[in-house]
């Protein structure tokens, strides 16, 4: 027997990792997905959150956007920290903005909910953003709602990028441009790694990182010439 944890305490930098230490001491094999902690001796399976942000920013900059915002969850989570790192680096490289300015003005923390995305996007729109990258598809739906409440049409006046490529997200209005995590490959790797541990072949206590892809649909378009 063994355990696969997905987005558990291992993703929270403030959490107590004693649970995992007890499992290791008891000889219970486990694999951790979507998060990382140097305190835990176990195999980790993760999407490349930094590369995901580069994909999103590159797409939006290619459409002419020069004011791109990022809406995501609390900073204590490892995937959030990695997304910020990737976003700041991509915006700095492609738009020439200073890292401090990017994180202060273009990064907005909120909750991973529709309402959280709406609140974050409202703040970013007020700072002049014509495009918003969201750390979940649900947040992206909230960003679209925020745009409409501010009199902005998506994608004519505001471009929105989601994250996850959740089921049915291709059928929203407009269909959502999003980052697709390689879930099948990550799932197969997690199961294979766990089976190796269960079978007595210890898996490397390191992180296996998988490349996401950008799925372009109808929520992104060329930057508006004027905001209003």
| Cα-based torsion angle of the residue sequence 137, 207, 41, 75 in order, rounded to the nearest 10 degrees | -40
Q: Is residue 221 part of a domain?
A: no
Q: Is residue 223 part of a domain?
A: no
pTM: 0.93
171 and 200: one domain? no
pLDDT in tens, the chain (228 residues): 799 999 888 999 999 999 999 998 998 999 999 999 988 989 999 999 999 999 999 999 999 999 999 999 999 999 999 999 999 999 999 999 999 999 999 999 999 999 999 999 999 999 999 999 999 999 999 999 999 999 999 999 999 999 999 988 888 999 999 999 999 999 999 999 999 988 888 777 889 999 999 999 999 999 998 654
d(CA 32, CA 40): 10
Q: Is residue 94 part of a domain?
A: yes
104 and 194: one domain? no
CATH number, residue 128: 3.40.50.2300
d(CA 109, CA 103): 10
Number of domains the chain contains: 2
Domain that holds residue 95: 49-179
68 and 132: one domain? yes
Could you tell me if residue 166 is left (phi over 0), alpha (psi between -120 and 50 degrees) or otherwise beta? beta
120 and 205: one domain? no
151 and 53: one domain? yes
């Amino acid at each position: 027997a063994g355990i696969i944890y997905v987005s558990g305490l291992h993703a929270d930098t403030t959490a107590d990792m004693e649970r995992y230490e007890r499992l290791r001491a008891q000889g219970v094999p486990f694999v951790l997905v979507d998060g990382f902690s140097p305190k835990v001796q176990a195999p980790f399976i993760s999407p490349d959150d930094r590369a995901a942000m580069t994909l999103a920013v590159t797409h939006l900059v290619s459409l002419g956007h020069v004011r791109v915002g990022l809406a995501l969850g609390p900073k204590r989570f490892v995937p959030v920290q990695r997304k910020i790192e990737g976003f700041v680096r991509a915006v700095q490289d492609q738009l020439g903005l200073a890292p401090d300015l990017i994180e202060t003005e273009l990064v907005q923390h909120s909750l991973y909910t529709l309402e959280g995305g709406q609140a974050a996007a409202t703040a970013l729109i007020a700072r002049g953003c014509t495009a918003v990258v969201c750390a979940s598809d649900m947040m992206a739906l909230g960003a679209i709602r925020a745009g409409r409440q501010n009199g902005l049409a998506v994608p004519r006046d505001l471009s929105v990028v989601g994250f996850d490529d959740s089921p049915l997200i291709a059928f929203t209005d407009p269909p959502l441009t999003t980052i697709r995590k390689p879930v099948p490959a990550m799932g197969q790797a997690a199961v294979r790694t766990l089976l190796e541990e269960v079978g007595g072949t210890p898996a490397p206590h390191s992180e296996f990182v998988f490349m996401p892809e950008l799925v372009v649909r109808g929520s992104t378009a060329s930057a508006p010439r004027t905001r209003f």
